[in-house]
Chain A
Amino acid sequence: MSNDRKPAVLIVDDEEIVLISIRTLLALDDEYEVATASSPEAALKLLESQTVDVTISDYMMPGMNGIQLLGRAKEIQPETTRVLLTGHADKGSAIKAINEVGLFQYLEKPWDNAQLLLVVRHAVERARLLRELRTKIGELDMAHSTLKDVQVRLLKAFL
């Protein structure tokens, strides 16, 4: 991941009014690239085709619920930070989700804008760190195999 691109946030909700409101809020400071999806299917398509740092999903949606969607998101893009935004007064399902699909955060509707912005900021940071870690591990692997090569050649040269 290049560090100069804007962090990408995907919002998923079957309510157009929620999508527009959160998109407007997140776009206020021009900090994020905001994408929206009004169905889980549309969200999965997006996740398959472009890098997403944070996925914020509603819980109750037709076809697939938010927990299932975020589970799939994790498979497609393990680095995307997953946030559940729900108006469902069911804390149990949220806790289940946190355990099952490794949710980063759980937000309730109505949400608090300041809290939402803070959660997104931290979520972006988490995704960035994960991607960086992946790159570093790759580099380490590369360095390790180079070292091995050198070692083999050294041994060959001396024995």
Chain B
Amino acid sequence: MNPVVTADQLLELQRMATLGGLLASVAHELSAPVAVLLSNADVRTMLLDKFDAAAGDADRIRKLMVSAREVANVDHVACERVRRMVTSLKVAARAGGGEFIKSSINEILDASLLLANTQFRHRVEVRTEFAELPEIECQPDRLSQAFLNLLINAGQAIEDRGTVVAGTELAGDQVHVWISDTGRGIREEDQPKVLREGFTTKPVGIGTGLGLAIVRQIIVESHGGTITFESTVGKGTTFHVHLPLAHKKQGAAD
């Protein structure tokens, strides 16, 4: 009877849309390591044949050894990249249904960063400044959605080349997460509106005006945290997220 989408369903829809939007760039990101692993599997067999044929020729064998080592090193790097991507996908795609679980904020942020960066790899340099943090009780699926939204925004704000920095620190009984970009910045007159639902300056098909409203919902309403930002046109924007170390059960505090 009720055609209205619930807040939770809306969150889930937006999460799926974000992840879906990343599929092509994630696939592209995997294509190099996968191509290399496939090619090297073949090269290794060819190398073994060459070793056979080179029996007794010390010089040739030395050369082949160099090649074999290079192939092994490349495989290691390629496997590591595939592993990191798969881990990040697991973190972001984890179907939590909004359950509160003790989780590492750094891990969630790092996974979101790796995924978001597949979209901007060629023009955006990414830096992390992670402090050691205790695990906090949170909704990892929702937080990864919030971080992804902020990071994709940061990358989209950068028109040509720029830098995105993601950092964490312990601030009293809170975890402070910041995401800053060297992008175009938010105009002063738009600043009061950016956290509101439906506000966007992006072209149709890029922005829905939901991203930051959803971030606010996840951080403030679900986690009892705060979100603020500072921005200078032409210089960039920094979003600050503060999350309490101990989650107060909703409704329990009032």
Contact = CB atoms under 8 A, between A and B. Distances in A.
A binds B: yes
B153 interface: no
Main secondary structure of the interface of B (DSSP, over half): helix
A87 B28 contact: yes
A154 interface: no
Interface stretch (B70-78, B132-140, B193-201): B70-78
Interface in B90-114: none
Interface string B126-150: 0000000000000000000000000
Interface stretch (B29-37, B166-174, B202-210, B246-254): B29-37
Interface stretch (B1-9, B11-19, B38-46): B38-46
Interface of B: 24, 27-28, 31-36, 38-40, 42-43, 46-47, 50, 67, 70-71, 73-74, 77-78, 122-123, 161
Contacts, number: 67
B67 A109 contact: no
A35 interface: no
B70 A111 contact: no
Contacts of B27: 89
Given A28-B67, A62-B122, A113-B43, A21 B31 contact: no
Residue among A16, A17, A20, A88 with the highest chain B CB neighbour number at 10 A = A17
B50 A18 contact: no
Chain A residues touching B, range = 20 to 34
Contacts of A17: 32-33, 36, 74, 77-78
